[in-house]
Amino acid sequence: MTQKLAWVVGTFDTKGEELHFIARKLREQGVAVRTADVSTSGLRVEGVDVGAHAIAASHAGGAPAVFTGERATAVRAMADALGNFLCARDDVAGVVTAGGSGAAALVSPAMQRLPIGLPKLIVTTLASGDVSLFVGSSDIAMLYPVVDVSGLNGISRQVLANAAHAMAGMVRGWQPPRAEGKPAIGLSMFGVTTPCVQGVTKALQGEFECLVFHATGTGGRSLEKLADEGRLAALVDLTTTEIADLLCGGVLSAGEDRLGAAARQSLPYVGSCGALDMVNFWARETVPSKFNSRLFHVHNANVTLMRTTPEENGRIGEWIAGKLNRMHGPVRFLIPEGGVSMLDAPGQPFWWPEADAALFDALQDHTLQTPDRQLIRLPGHINDASFIAAAVSSLRELGLRTG
């Protein structure tokens, strides 16, 4: 059996003292360790298990593609090489690094490529700010070192030792994913579609392991990541609101690849229009002034929702249809003609039947329907019991094995 190792990775040419300290503390905890240098200076660093040139050789263009002499391109290329290196190994039990922005930029892309559940920890001076670029859709832990990672002192020793002990605990306690005996399905949910998704989950949880993702941009990317990793047997993607943010300038976009994994993996897909009546922004004063004439709903002090217009909904519907047309697995896309969120119902602030009709008609006009790819128009609201029942029966109709 291959020995599982905690990999201490970083720029040993500038952060060697601190990284070796972490490695030593891990060994004191009885954890097997390997050190790997990802510095881009081209200098050969003594005392590491795997040197930077060996890591760089894992780049598709070889080491010359990494050691370009230009820092930005070298960092990106070394990050690619490290991802290739780690993903090709079967001895990785965890990865830890420490440093500033360079360490985070170098190591986090490789960590994001590793499986969900594998321990990953970054000690970085950037951990007290917006870490979304470094964490992405993965389960990377971030630790703020308080002082700069620049030598060992009374503060840094304590913080770096904590990082080593945390990694040791994660590595020792790690368990392979359990076979639940039930296939896992991914569901997307927002606050305004909660009754729908909770109802679907309640109906299906005896047959499936139901994994619910909060459709906040990161949630959608995580859903796509797990689908690409083969961890999901089907998608029940009832809350596609992140697409409105992508196309209309909101802050919770999941990116252009939303709905991509279902096509790549030919997964059974049950989708809908959940919360496509809204575009998300932070506090009201942060909304760009070009939207001042629009209809808003202040969800709370930190979140402001903007109603989508008929023109925007037409573009959203056409975009979704293009994605559905690329799916080769069975597709059922449900259209709730009675409203797509709690706010989109008679008497509620976002009730606008003409805007919804533009979305539904665009979906109808641009989706290439086949026996395996069907749009199903339903008269009720997305949170109605009748819609929940239709979503459940649509998934069962696709014939997934339940154990």
Digit-coded pLDDT (tens) for 28-82: 999 999 999 999 998 899 999 999 999 999 999 999 999 999 999 999 999 999 9
- Angle between helical axes of 12-28 and 154-173 (0-180°, round to 10): 60
The fraction of the chain above a pLDDT of 90, given in percent, is: 92
Q: Is 2 helix (H, G, I), strand (E, B) or coil?
A: coil
Q: Which element (helix H / strand E) includes 36?
A: strand 33-37
Ramachandran angles phi, psi of 54, nearest 5°: -70, -40
- What pLDDT sits at residue 403? 46
106 in Cβ contact with 131 (< 8 Å): no
Residue 58: both structure tokens together: 């894992």
- Amino acid at the residue 190: F
Q: Same fold for the domain at 5-173 and the one at 184-397?
A: yes
Average pLDDT value over all residues in the chain: 95
Classify the C-alpha dihedral 295-299-302-308 as positive or negative: negative
- Note the pLDDT tens digit of each residue in 309-365: 999 999 999 999 999 999 999 999 999 999 999 999 999 999 999 999 999 999 999
Query: What average pLDDT score do residues 232-259 get?
Result: 97
334 in Cβ contact with 387 (< 8 Å): yes
Domain 5-173 classification at class level: alpha beta
- What pLDDT sits at residue 103? 86
Query: What average pLDDT score do residues 86-110 get?
Result: 95
Classify the C-alpha dihedral 337-325-114-110 as positive or negative: negative
Residue 46: both structure tokens together: 């003594």
- Note the pLDDT tens digit of each residue in 187-242: 999 999 999 999 999 999 999 999 999 999 999 999 999 999 999 999 999 999 99
pLDDT at 1 over 70: no
Indicate the domain borders of the chain: 5-173, 184-397
Q: Which element (helix H / strand E) includes 220?
A: helix 218-228
- What pLDDT sits at residue 175? 81
- What pLDDT sits at residue 180? 59
Measure the CA–CA gap between 220 and 188, rounded to whole angstroms: 7
Choice among 1-10, 182-191, 269-278, 355-364 with the minimum mean pLDDT? 1-10
Measure the CA–CA gap between 382 and 352, rounded to whole angstroms: 15
- Note the pLDDT tens digit of each residue in 113-131: 999 999 999 999 999 888 9
Query: Does 3.40.50.12030 match the CATH number of domain 184-397?
Result: yes
